[in-house]
Amino acid sequence: MSERPIRVLVAKPGLDGHDRGAKVIAQALRDAGMEVIYTGLRQTPEQIVEAALQEDVQVVGLSILSGAHMHLFPAVVEGLRAQGADDILVVGGGIIPDEDIPLLKEAGIAEIFGPGTPTTEIIRFIREEVAKRAQKEEGKQ
């Protein structure tokens, strides 16, 4: 029996009107054997949380260029926690100032990938983190 592919929701929170980068990442993750659901543009944190739950994903990837990351990224993490889905890995990317990254990580974003990050690095991080979380879950049972 083969292992279930990693399921990833790629979302564009807020009012961003550009999604080329998110689509490039989504395709790279698909090419790496992951199942990817892309929500499209202008999603609210609540819509992203609902989609993550409905799609039974292991990972939510947030992409933002608008500068609203300090509000929108933590709102997604808080929404997942409120639904008991804090086991979902949340990563972010886009145009995010270096000084904001530690604050986002404190808020529960596992990693931030800026422009120019090789897709192989993103894929490796997701695979490693999902494997770690699966091992933790097995240890609880």
Block means of pLDDT (10 residues each) for the chain, 141 residues, are 85 92 97 97 97 98 96 98 97 97 98 96 98 86 69
Residue 3 has a pLDDT of 78
The whole-model pTM stands at 0.96
Residue 126: which of 86, 89, 96 has the closest Cα? 89
Domain residue limits, the chain: 7-139
Residue 1 has a pLDDT of 40
**First vs last C-alpha separation in the chain:** 21
Residue 136 has a pLDDT of 84
Amino acid at 95: I
Residue 138 has a pLDDT of 81
Beta-bridge mates of residue 61: 10, 91
Residue 57: which of 27, 30, 90, 93 has the closest Cα? 90
Residue 74: which of 127, 123, 110 has the closest Cα? 110
Which tokens go with 99?
């000084």
Looking at domain 7-139, its CATH class is alpha beta
